[in-house]
Amino acid sequence: MTSVAAAAGVPTKRSGVGHWLDTYRAMLRWEVTGMRLLLPLTVVVQVLIGAGMIVGIAVLFHGIPSRNALFLSTGAAVVTLITVGIVVGPQLVAQQKQMGTYDFVWSLPVPRSAAASAWITLNVLIALPGMVVALLVALVRFDIDLDVSLSVVPAVALTVFCGTLVGYAMAHAIPKPEVTDGIAQVALFTVIGFSPINFPPENMPGWLASLHRYLPFESMANVVRAGLTEGIVHDLARSYAVLAIWSVGCMALTAWALRRH
């Protein structure tokens, strides 16, 4: 391709690791600068969601058993990680579509994977303060025993990665931004109220608990919780496998949607 292009007087196609890293850095700057006005507010909202869940439930229910408190505390941290990807992301893409800026953003000369990675990095930056504050509030409020291991790093990365890809796929595959917005709201409601994130699956109806074995939310909670606690998470390999499958599936769906569009 190089020699043919040179013969025709056209620059060769840019590719390779160096090009990918250059465009990743440029897109990260694009995303961070683009969110500059909203970033502080978004981080504060995430912090309030995480801390608010712990404080709110502690107000409603007195004398929470320590195991439940541990579930709630680590669950609240996971919720802050998930909501950025599946709520903020789709809403921003929906906004791009409504304002007509979608075509401009997706015509930028960068590899899709570099653009997606920059967005995922920004999501991690937005979500982490909420997670940390939620855990700190839980330590103070419930006096829980955390057992943090290094495995929390890949667990958090994979959870944000998968959550962002779920949001990405949703936002790109659904043509109407209003529908995307609605589904994002339902997803948020499902994550907070009807997923075994803040409580064990045994507390749910059997059919819903079974369904959640194939949805990504319980697995996200499992991998992060395993990195923060000791002895309450089992079948970790399955959770990683579920997240890997969802990530790959959502990547494929996004790629298909962008190609079809």
Partner 1 sequence: MTVTDRPWTFYIEDVTKTYDDGATFANDHITFQIRPGEVYGLLGPNGAGKSTLVKQVIGLLKPTSGAITLGPYDLVADPNVARQLCSYLPQAQVPIDSFKVHEALTVSGRIRGGEKEAVRARAEAMIEALAIEEWRDTLGAKLSGGVRRLVGFAMATVWPGLLVILDEPTNDVDPLRRRCLWQEIRRLGAEGAAVLLVTHNVLEAEQSVDRLALIDEGRLIAEGTPSSLKAADRGRLRLQLMLVPGAETPELPALVHDHSRVGNHLVTVIDEGDAADGITWAQQAMASGVAEEYALGATTLEDAYIRLTGQSKEL
Q: Does 257 bind partner 1 (CB under 8 A)?
A: no
Among 17, 18, 36, 65, indicate the residue that binds partner 1 (CB under 8 A).
36
Distance CA 224, CA 19 (A): 33
Q: Where are the alpha helices (DSSP H) in 100-235?
A: 102-106, 112-142, 152-173, 177-193, 206-212, 216-228
- Distances from the Cα of 104 to the Cαs of 66, 122, 191, in angstroms? 51, 20, 32
Q: Residues touching partner 1: how many (CB under 8 A)? A: 38
User: Binding to partner 1 (CB under 8 A): which residues in 109-148?
Assistant: 109-111
In the complex, least distance from residue 195 CB atom to partner 1, rounded to whole angstroms: 33
Binder to partner 1 among 44, 108, 153, 208 (CB under 8 A)? Answer: 108
Secondary structure in 3-state letters for 46-81 = HHHHHHHHHHHHHHHCCCCCHHHHHHHHHHHHHHHH
Looking at beta carbons only, is 103 or 147 nearer to partner 1?
A: 103
In the complex, the smallest distance separating the C-beta of residue 105 from partner 1, rounded to whole angstroms, is 7
Q: Does residue number 96 form part of the binding site for partner 1 (CB under 8 A)?
A: yes
Between 93 and 144, name the residue whose CB sits nearer to partner 1.
93
Return the number of the residue (62 or 260) whose C-beta is nearest partner 1.
260
Closest CA to 165 of 45, 252, 35, 77: 252
Dig out the tokens for 19 from the structure.
């090009």
Measured from the CB atom, is 122 or 162 closer to partner 1? Answer: 122
Is 101 a residue that touches partner 1 (CB under 8 A)? yes
Interface with partner 1 (CB under 8 A), residue from 55, 105, 146, 188 = 105
Query: What is the C-alpha to C-alpha distance for residues 78 and 95, in angstroms, rounded to an integer?
Result: 26
- Does 10 interact with partner 1 (rule: CB under 8 A)? yes
Options 20, 55, 91, 106; binder of partner 1; rule CB under 8 A: 106
The residue written with tokens 């399955």 in the block is 238
34 binds partner 1 (CB under 8 A): yes
CB-CB contact of 250 with 168 (8 Å): yes
Report the residue number, 102 or 161, with the smaller CB distance to partner 1: 102
From 41, 99, 148, 241, residue interacting with partner 1 (rule: CB under 8 A)? 99
State CA 12 to chain mean position distance. 36
- CA triple 217-160-112, angle to 5 deg: 120
Which residue in 141, 199, 195 sits closest to 166, CA to CA? 195
DSSP 8-state symbol, 151: T
Window 196 to 255, contacts with partner 1 (CB under 8 A): none
Residues that bind partner 1 (CB under 8 A): 1, 4-5, 7-11, 13-14, 22-23, 26-27, 29-30, 33-38, 96, 99-101, 103-111, 259-261
